[in-house]
Amino acid sequence: MQAFAARRRTRNQLPGTPIRLGAGLRTREFLTRIQTGWVVGFIAAASLSCAGLDARQTRSCGPPQFPYSEGWLGGDAAYSIPLGAGRSVWLFGDTFVGDPLQATRKGSTFIHNSIAISQCTASGDWQIDYAWGHSDDGSARAFFDRNQSDGFWWLFDGFTHAGRLYIGLLNVEHGAPRGPLNLPFHYTGMSLARVDNPTDPPEQWSIEVLPLTSDRRAFPGSSMVVDEPYVYLFAFIDLDATRFPRMLSRIPLAALDVDEPRPDTAIEFLDRDGSWQAGFDPERARILMDDNASEMSVRYEPEIARWLAVYNYPDVTDPSSEGPPSDDVYARTAESLEGPWSPPQSIFEIPELDVSAVGRDPNTFCYAAKAHPQFAEPGEILLTYVCNLFTPTGESDWEVMERLLGEMRLYRPRAVSLPLSAIEIDSGR
């Protein structure tokens, strides 16, 4: 990150919520999982109405907060999808869970996904209730569990349609190390979870998993957004775990309304010539965003009459890189989902990564930036990001990663509010 020191500007003040110390982890299995788990941010809410125009709700209880409670001890990713009546579902990736009375993560359990339902109460308080799965013996497991010893799901974006909730599931399986970080897993496609009763408590959800793609090159879950009569799925292309440009696919909403939906047979992709073609072919797809991000949000901003993409792309492999600063959050805008999209512009510099900050932790990296317009006041952008630890070459995995068990300031989303005027609408167009 030293190469970026000369680019530092005056930082936006981080308005934040107090970080409360909370609760709980396990052994070498954790170290193996966490080193692969945080990569979902490195490599790796849709609207209730057309174009997301009705997704925004008046924020009456402050920005989103993610306290350690109910045994939930931190998670990443943090996609959000409005459910109506001031409620949203939050989707987390790798998650620590333990005893509600724990003050650190030591002795807790590591699972691959969890969720939460947030709501602003009638009294104006922020309320969030976490949920994950349990095995027959009572032990914690992922909320969406593949029940396979060699595979699991990471949660990506989702959307609502016709009273149902849909959530993207990235199929992950263990495999031979690959890429510059020797990541010991690979992706085998995407599935789509359909929840028929999302207004019920999560433990009562009726869930069906639908096939989406079995392609091992690109994965349509980076962001999902409804724009009638389609749901559009931004996909990241995995170029040998080194680059992750994005393409666009879509599914007719009518294909989800049949008795036995098969979104994998209804999916279409945007060809490089600008036409829509049946199927899903990354080799022929138009690249809409050619920088590196597997996670992002794309939502419609009626105040600027543009679609807004928000993301960041942490780079821990080459500190001397002269590429775009990896400690910034970026935005792109477009009048149409098909583009053209404006070049990326920095809208926020992550303070935890400020190279000039006193006491900065060189093992910290931050990722998973996304906007959540249903929580933003008029004239602002509300985004979240997550900070974590990584092990540089030559340092001990155990010494660095075990620190995360006690570093409770890390590994949960942080909310930031920015003025919408930070977006230069016609920049580079």
Provide the Cα torsion 185, 189, 195, 198; round to 10°.
60
Q: What is the CATH number of the domain that holds 294?
A: 2.115.10.20
Is residue 235 within 8 Å of 293, Cβ to Cβ? no
pLDDT at 239: 86
Q: In this structure, is residue 429 part of a structural domain?
A: no
Instruction: Determine, yes or no, domain membership for 427.
Output: no
Which is it for strands 345-349 and 364-371: parallel, antiparallel or unpaired?
unpaired
- Containing H/E element for 39? helix 39-42
pLDDT digits (tens, 9 = 90+) for 170-179: 999 988 876 6
Range in 29-43, 126-140, 225-239, 316-330 the model is least confident about: 29-43
Share the mean pLDDT of the chain: 83
Between the ranges 52-56, 163-167, 172-176, 181-185, where is the mean pLDDT highest? Answer: 163-167
Residues spanned by the domain of 393: 2-422
Residue 358, pLDDT > 90, answer: no
* Domain count for the chain: 1
Domain-embedded: residue 152? yes
Say if residue 385's pLDDT is above 50.
yes
The whole-number pLDDT of residue 22 equals: 26
Separation of alpha carbons 316 and 399, rounded Å: 18
Task: State the pLDDT at residue 262.
Answer: 97
Q: What is the pLDDT of residue 10?
A: 26
Is residue 223 in a domain? yes
Q: Is residue 321 part of a domain?
A: yes
Report, as an integer, the average pLDDT of 268-297: 96
Mean pLDDT, residues 399-404 taken together:
84
Tell whether 291 is covered by a domain.
Answer: yes
Instruction: Compute the average pLDDT of residues 297-306.
Output: 97
Quickly state the pLDDT bin for 45 (edges 50, 70, 90): very low
pLDDT value for 423: 92
Domain annotation covers residue 50: yes
DSSP string, 270-285: EBTTS-EEES--GGGB
